[in-house]
Structure 1
């Protein structure tokens, strides 16, 4: 009985041994930042309860955050190919903290819409910069494990943020904005004190930089893969928009219960994701991504079977396993696909895809939920998961081998082969 904890501990030690020091500092900053992720999981509840908006109107307002996210992701990727991505992260964290504080007490719907857009714009410029920094600070053979550590840090923070946010929201929603801002400032301080900058790549002339920034738009298989990711993300973002409403309406959960469900997702990822990925490292990445897409949809499709609460817990376990399979693998696929001079462009477009999904997800999800009910919405996520899984399998021949400028091998590399 005592051997199991030791084996688990040994698995984690082996998984993260030898990672560059810079990756650990980046992951610490991300942990601090995500520990304060409290506003987004409760945004739909905040708008419907505190601002007295209808569900569909709240969905349209939250979609402005997604619009800002699209613009911010493109901006962050563009900037990261031109200036130090560490500086991009520092600046965007400081600005995001200020914007969070500016949301306190705002009741005007137009002003809320503007601020949501700006939070999405500035906040999501951080994400591609972070991914570019990880790519530059880790050699190819360590890149998969580096991204895994970043996801571990992010989800460890998410295990703290929403659960704490649920209790704070029950007392005063303004505290969510304050704590979220404080952790943005804290993460910026970590980077300012520990990271002088990311290694530079030889991007060539200004003309070469412009050409490189357009590379992902000329990569047909990559664009099709982004379409698949978009479909998965539209379903996945229902977790942060409609699922809190459904858990309130159908399961009778208060904010603290909703936060606990989301924290359960993060806790499962922290404990099991790295072990799961190590077990699957000999399998083809796109096959794993296909299973992940299917499980995300299947887990969400279980939600209308409840109450009881056990259904929501089981559903969370299923879509969490799907998340553990598709999200880290898709990030590595994108990172390995991008030539060095175009890393920011590829990562930026990857994050733009998630931002675009966040425009569609709250608007479409709340509209379907209000007009047709939860059964139609959650069944639709199951169908989308199946289509996305088939898309991953169909793209295997085109995406095998990594970068578009390289000749492909006859066999798609496994996860372990992308690390060596």
Structure 2
């Protein structure tokens, strides 16, 4: 008991408050977003290509606002950006519920989803930067693991509920998603007031900010690999959902269970995995994770039953345990003082671009290769291996002190 208490006291209490808000936010997100493509395809009759094009447009918009969100987090402070983002998103989810109830169709719901993505993109860099503000460099990897566990606790609960609700009431699904996002914003508003804003940037955000990349070749290479990685990772939401439900015939409820496996594994194994890997360079951890991603997605292409999908999800989630905390830690470590938000925004731009453009690529390739789906999943596995090679070779480029988990409490 004393050890647990000491562990909690090791971190600023506001990190745990932020983690609580992250649970509610992730639960709201996971209730709705994994199933929205199924709603478009199964309920509204939108083609895979049409869904992919919409997701591509959404990707461009979200990525731009992700980078802007990082700059605004440095200029205006984290607190207001996080609170406004979550409160607006909760209202948008409620408007989506009304749109479904009134049968307003694809364009109304798609438009609202774009606005939801914009405010989500503004929220994320501020939240990631807050983690970096609340802990020293020696605890960052562990702190990012904590908030990932929190987010995945919400992710473990959300899809199980969302899978059931998508079989019965889409309206109720979006209402509950909005309610959980409102709870997240309220937790942050009440308990995180007064978070110190870091040193303001003297420059204004704009096209000139590309100079940040020009002067930091390592950041260019790293974020390029992040983009490729999330092209791969993003396949396990929209393309995986459509493939498993509409082509392989598993139920939406079972799909929700698969995402719950993902969330529970992160909750249970993220912290032990982070500790077990602490002696490895962060880029080596990410290279190993990318290889595991390749194996997991290749198995998806050879799979047609719920049990086999569950096995593939376990492998994919194992890869996730290796990749996500080190990626955030490297970004925070590379950032000069007063530029954490900007660097998180650039990192978030790469993540969001990959995460959002990936479904466009996935939907187009699913449409092109059907019924020979193994070709599609093989391409995804090859992309993962390209990323793995990139992380391995980047190990020699990133200074050692920025590429290790520095923890005095080993």
Conservation of the 8 A alpha-carbon contact between 2:281 and 2:405: yes
- Picking from 120, 125, 150, the partner of 2:122 is 125
Structure 2 regions of 5+ residues with no counterpart?
none
2:31 is the counterpart of 1:34: no
Name the structure 1 match of 2:12.
Answer: 20
Name the structure 1 match of 2:393.
Answer: 394
- Picking from 80, 85, 95, the partner of 1:92 is 85
Name the structure 2 match of 1:415.
Answer: 405
Once residues 306 and 261 of structure 2 are traced to their aligned partners in structure 1, the CA distance between those partners, rounded to angstroms, is 13
Q: How many residues align?
A: 402
2:74 is the counterpart of 1:81: yes
Residues 111-162 of structure 1: CA deviation (Å, up to 9, x unaligned): 3332222111111111000011111111222222211110010000100011
Once residues 326 and 11 of structure 1 are traced to their aligned partners in structure 2, the CA distance between those partners, rounded to angstroms, is 28
- Picking from 156, 162, 175, the partner of 2:172 is 175
Name the structure 2 match of 1:280.
Answer: 277
Once residues 174 and 75 of structure 1 are traced to their aligned partners in structure 2, the CA distance between those partners, rounded to angstroms, is 32
- Picking from 111, 115, 119, the partner of 1:114 is 111
Distance 1:32 1:65, change over 3 A: same
Shift of 1:343: 0.7
Name the structure 2 match of 1:348.
Answer: 345
Once residues 258 and 387 of structure 2 are traced to their aligned partners in structure 1, the CA distance between those partners, rounded to angstroms, is 25
Distance 1:302 1:160, change over 3 A: same
Once residues 6 and 313 of structure 2 are traced to their aligned partners in structure 1, the CA distance between those partners, rounded to angstroms, is 28
2:181 is the counterpart of 1:197: no
1:324-403 equivalences under 5 Å are 324-373=321-370, 374-401=373-400
Distance 1:28 1:50, change over 3 A: same
Shift of 1:15: 5.8
Once residues 290 and 216 of structure 1 are traced to their aligned partners in structure 2, the CA distance between those partners, rounded to angstroms, is 23
Identify which range, 63-72 or 337-346, moves more after superposition: 63-72
Name the structure 1 match of 2:55.
Answer: 62
Distance 1:336 1:12, change over 3 A: farther
Once residues 166 and 383 of structure 2 are traced to their aligned partners in structure 1, the CA distance between those partners, rounded to angstroms, is 32
Residues 16-72 of structure 1: CA deviation (Å, up to 9, x unaligned): 551111101110111111122222100110101121111221222233332332122
Identify which range, 342-351 or 106-115, moves more after superposition: 106-115
SS of the equivalent of 1:197 reads coil
Distance 1:212 1:367, change over 3 A: closer
Conservation of the 8 A alpha-carbon contact between 1:369 and 1:376: no
Identify which range, 111-120 or 250-259, moves more after superposition: 111-120
Once residues 418 and 334 of structure 1 are traced to their aligned partners in structure 2, the CA distance between those partners, rounded to angstroms, is 20
Residues 273-327 of structure 1: CA deviation (Å, up to 9, x unaligned): 1111111111111111100111112201101212232221111111111111011
Q: CA RMSD in A?
A: 2.3
Query: Which stretches of structure 1, 4 residues or more, deviate above 6 A after TM superposition?
Result: 9-14, 208-213
Conservation of the 8 A alpha-carbon contact between 2:218 and 2:397: yes
Identify which range, 264-273 or 206-215, moves more after superposition: 206-215
Shift of 1:215: 2.8
Once residues 330 and 324 of structure 2 are traced to their aligned partners in structure 1, the CA distance between those partners, rounded to angstroms, is 10
Once residues 202 and 77 of structure 1 are traced to their aligned partners in structure 2, the CA distance between those partners, rounded to angstroms, is 14
Residues 322-355 of structure 1: CA deviation (Å, up to 9, x unaligned): 1110111111111111112111111001111122
Distance 1:343 1:370, change over 3 A: same
Distance 1:349 1:372, change over 3 A: same
TM-score with structure 2 setting the length:
0.92
SS of the equivalent of 2:301 reads helix
Name the structure 2 match of 1:52.
Answer: 45
Once residues 277 and 156 of structure 1 are traced to their aligned partners in structure 2, the CA distance between those partners, rounded to angstroms, is 17
Once residues 112 and 368 of structure 1 are traced to their aligned partners in structure 2, the CA distance between those partners, rounded to angstroms, is 25
Shift of 1:419: 8.1
Identify which range, 211-220 or 19-28, moves more after superposition: 211-220
Distance 1:213 1:199, change over 3 A: farther
Conservation of the 8 A alpha-carbon contact between 1:144 and 1:332: yes
Identify which range, 161-170 or 140-149, moves more after superposition: 140-149
Residues 203-241 of structure 1: CA deviation (Å, up to 9, x unaligned): 36x349999895345311111111111111011111111
